Chains A and B, each alone.
Chain A
């Protein structure tokens, strides 16, 4: 006689386990499908493409998730110890190979399929006419610099940095190109025009993240990282830091405002006037 087998009551345990697995699976799938908590609407073409790739991945993983959890539930209930004899087999090479090939095709295929969205952000640079905006991150604030009418960024020097006296990025006022540079704690961009961000950090690693752009990029000290996007929908969007940067990380926050072309020009003028 085997002891400690739990023969008595094994049906109720098996049933409870199977029911829990099925319930957990159904509830999870429901919340995903009902989109109870979901992405905010994307405001870029890239965003829509990323959402589509997310849905493709969700479909494939969803099918595997349901199949595996239900399979486990069925096996647990069907093969619970009710006095039968276990069948003896040590495996099945054909099934093993089929299963392996299927997952290779599915998983690697999915990875290759995702290439396009990534390529748009990182393999291809910003186009000629894109508006350059330099983003300088520091503990715990964002600074956005616009080149002004001359289209050139002026010189900056670390030793001139003084957030308290209104020069957070250390702009060198002796450089003529620096005269018309505009530095703002919030960002505004025109709808429908491509924007190139030049990401820098003064101190530690931060991360630029705007949900609606479906865009996240670390700002790394000592590096200049370029990303680009075209926002289509006017509105105010929150920018949150996404890389742990110290005690104030959770409140390193700013806004990205997408404006019509006319409003954007007006915004630039207002900012320039306020800076004088």
Chain B
């Protein structure tokens, strides 16, 4: 690899020479970003596999959610964020490269611990990803799947919290401290804004989950009673050693983390969608300031609405009503974003590559999934809909699938920068169409299951008569899921094939985009900018500026170098 002449005292990084320091225990944010992406891809595929096995009645719901969530959180945030946040702000690396490496390997460890939970005696954990106590707190006496498997599960979750805290800290510091000259907050790409706000959410939320996990472990292993009330009787056996705990305390702690966590999964997707819609409409983002405000608004309100998961939990009905109104208000910044996405497209010159198709799909899915939130935010409607398939449809569309679309959009867009080759567009289009049509075929019908009153987390519908007529809908969904999941192997093939044999990205900036990562070679050198700190002169989305010859002005281009029409 080329080493650059020192450009006047800036920290110049020499690439490590050993294979292990270079590719395994690397402190280069780009290598770590790719490691996270691989971990995320693995997780998402395991999650998809488990979802499908669940549809075939073979697998465990807890696991599915972890892998999905693990994947969804690590890909857009830790994966792309790690790789592109430093480059987009003009930094040579993250603020704390060693911490970055530790954060990845801790995440890896948590994954191993959770995988181990499936191979211990006493069975895989079945507490659901919410792990509500007392079911999750009593150990083996509460039934199969509540023994060592559940303990490992919670330990894994706690380790994951630690890893996420390290990552969040690093992101926040990097964005605040390492921005290049001229990269004011008002010139940050929206991707960076969403990574930043997501990191703040992570910093505030994961600490709470970590505390909750420790308390739950103490209940399970040390005989404490944080979440277990007195007087329990389990299959005729009286529990005498627990007294005075509150099952609702766990729910509050869990959802204080769990709701922001939903935004941790979706915000980076919003950033990528905004970024691509502007780039491929060749137009500035409509209402940049409103977009930043909406991201911050969603981040803030995300901490004020956790109670809407608990409307029927036995929580105070007055709190429930307050949470309901707060939840309705989170629809406002979400609506602003949708409106501005349409405004960004309007009057543009839209180019339909696969990255853009996924970004457009994201907008459609965000609308479809978001609107059902207006039903679920009303406690009176939750008297019927809560814990049913309407909820399943809602959160899969908005948080599961929309986030995955954000991840795919980012992958098709940044692949040439990361690996110097393009993903195959033809295969990509087939992948897009199967996925887009497929996810609607899977998740739209779930709304109707919910209307018919189908509770979620039912292993099968044989014991309840009113579920019988809904069976054909399940069959339809299972077939759609099979086809959609199969199509993901096209992507996997495309990914590995294009790494070796994809069309080479000879130009630094093949998409004619504006942000800093497109000003350096593909793939970027070890220290990103060759020891020279870039200077930023323009906003992030200067497309089709009147008077300029090209329809884009890169952020780093000095004003006197912008060609006039």
Contact = CB atoms under 8 A, between A and B. Distances in A.
Interface of A: 2-7, 10, 13-14, 16-17, 20-21, 24, 28, 31, 36-40, 49-50, 53-54, 57-58, 60-61, 64-65, 68-69, 71-72, 75-76, 79-81, 84-93, 95-96, 99-100, 103-104, 107-108, 110-112, 114-118, 121-123, 138-139, 158-159, 161-164, 170, 202-205, 207, 209, 211, 214-218, 220-223, 225, 238, 240-251, 253
Given A61-B371, A72-B360, A161-B238, A114 B378 contact: yes
B452 interface: yes
B243 to A, nearest CB: 9
Interface of B: 126-128, 130, 132-135, 138, 142-146, 228-236, 238, 245-248, 281-290, 312-314, 317-318, 320-321, 324-325, 327-329, 331-332, 335-336, 338-340, 342-343, 345-353, 357, 360, 363-364, 367-368, 371-372, 374-375, 377-384, 386-388, 422, 425, 429, 433, 436-437, 440, 444, 448-449, 451-453, 455, 457-466, 470, 473, 507, 510-512, 543-546, 551
A188 B55 CA distance: 35
B144 A72 contact: no
28 contacts: A2-B351, A14-B352, A24-B364, A31-B448, A36-B448, A50-B383, A61-B374, A65-B368, A68-B342, A72-B364, A72-B367, A85-B544, A86-B281, A89-B283, A89-B347, A92-B343, A107-B328, A107-B374, A111-B325, A122-B317, A202-B233, A205-B134, A205-B313, A216-B384, A221-B232, A244-B130, A244-B457, A249-B459
A138 B130 CA distance: 20
A145 to B, nearest CB: 15
The list of the 7 closest CB pairs from A to B, nearest first, reads: A222-B229, A122-B317, A117-B380, A91-B287, A37-B448, A251-B463, A111-B328
A228 B430 CA distance: 54
A35 to B, nearest CB: 8
Given A24-B440, A222-B246, A222-B247, A211 B381 contact: no
B290 A204 contact: no
Contact of A90 (B146, B234, B286, B470): B286
Contacts of A100: 332, 335-336
B380 to A, nearest CB: 4
Given A53-B380, A247-B144, A17 B360 contact: yes
Contacts of A121: 317, 380, 383
A238 B145 contact: no
A234 B281 CA distance: 60
Contacts of B349: 79, 81, 84-86
Contacts of A103: 331-332, 335-336
Contact of B236 (A4, A60, A164): A164
B231 A91 contact: no
Nearest to A116: B380
Nearest to A75: B345
Nearest to A222: B229
B352 A90 contact: no
B455 A139 contact: no
A246 B127 CA distance: 7
| A2, A86, A159, A162 — most chain B CB neighbours (10 Å) | A86
Nearest to A77: B350
Contacts of B229: 221-223
B348 A40 contact: no
A37 B447 CA distance: 9
Nearest to A212: B453
Given A75-B345, A250-B458, 12 more contacts: A10-B350, A38-B452, A50-B383, A57-B381, A68-B342, A68-B367, A87-B283, A107-B329, A139-B142, A170-B233, A216-B384, A244-B457
B314 A225 contact: yes
Nearest to B325: A111
A86 B378 CA distance: 42
Contacts of A253: 463-464
Contacts of B473: 37
B345 A76 contact: yes
B135 A204 contact: yes
Nearest to B422: A4
Contacts of B425: 4, 6
Nearest to A224: B314
Given A40-B466, A103-B332, A245 B374 contact: no
Given A6-B425, A202-B232, A242 B388 contact: yes
Nearest to B132: A205
Nearest to B229: A222
Nearest to A203: B234
A91 B290 contact: yes
Given A37-B449, A54-B381, A61-B375, A112 B342 contact: no
